[in-house]
Structure 1
């Protein structure tokens, strides 16, 4: 079963998850410099931060003008990169950078920076289509920044 996403109102999200989001924001903005500082400031344990940090993200209703950096692990097979790029193109996102490592044991690591435009389709759906692409083993959002 693939990764499933849910959109919830803030009041339905457990407090610890909201605090993880706040701790991540403090780190990203440079208001604190360590996970320990961030966790202390928002009132959670470091273990709670690490447990949930990759699973909770603040939802941005309007991602237009945002650059998302994605990281992939994918099988080293001819045409797979083309298939991945085609999915992104079908959703109307603009590819800014592509970096693929030399495959090791038949697996290549890839990072892509993608600009989300006003005409770009549903980003969550695009990510799910990328995850379902045969030969793609892992897709994660590494970073998100406003243009």
Structure 2
């Protein structure tokens, strides 16, 4: 009979230091700050064996309430550079693109959904949407979720 796994949310300062260091080593590898497990574990001050022992059991909690993730829906003309121009508007505004999904164009247009973390916006959401709508080739832009 398989043992049921239970999960708990625990403040980092209540955890044994090894768990926090394993999470930090995993983060360093994901962001490219460390190229190997050996380099990451050396930088955080733990052994490779400790890392491998706990790596699958330790996951950082991403507080979604602290972030501002918004999914935008855009209808774009199937012209070269339109999506690139839209993404440039997001980058200039300070939004951090998380996902991009584009359908295969039909009737000269493609549906695109863009999820972005918007807590770093240098402008209002309304201004961002107006700037995207002003891009040549954008037929429609709206907020789907957020």
TM-score (norm 2): 0.53
Please give the alpha-carbon distance, in whole angstroms, between the structure 1 residues aligned to 2:119 and 2:96. Answer: 7
Structure 1's unaligned 5+ residue stretches are 1-62
Instruction: Give 3-state SS (helix, strand or coil) of 1:139's partner.
Output: strand
Q: CA 1:132/1:119 → structure 2, altered by over 3 Å: closer, same or farther?
A: closer
Preserved contact between residue 93 and residue 115 of structure 1 (Cα < 8 Å)? yes
Residue number in structure 1 paired with 2:111: 109
Alignment of 1:1-147 (within 5 A): 65-144=67-146
**How many Å separate the matches in 2 of 1:69 and 1:127?**
12
Deviation (angstroms), 1:141: 0.4
Query: Counterparts of 1:131 and 1:115 in 2: how far apart (Å)?
Result: 19
Q: Unpaired runs of 5+ in structure 2?
A: 1-64
- Give a deviation string over 1:38-94, Cα, whole Å, max 9, x none: xxxxxxxxxxxxxxxxxxxxxxxxx97210100011100111110000000000000
Aligned length: 82
Pair 65,101 (structure 1): closer, same or farther in 2 beyond 3 Å: same
Whether the 8 Å CA contact 1:65–1:118 is kept in 2: the answer is no
Greater RCO, 1 or 2 (C-alpha within 8 Å, sep 6+): 1
Counterpart CA distance in 2 for 1:91 and 1:124 is 11
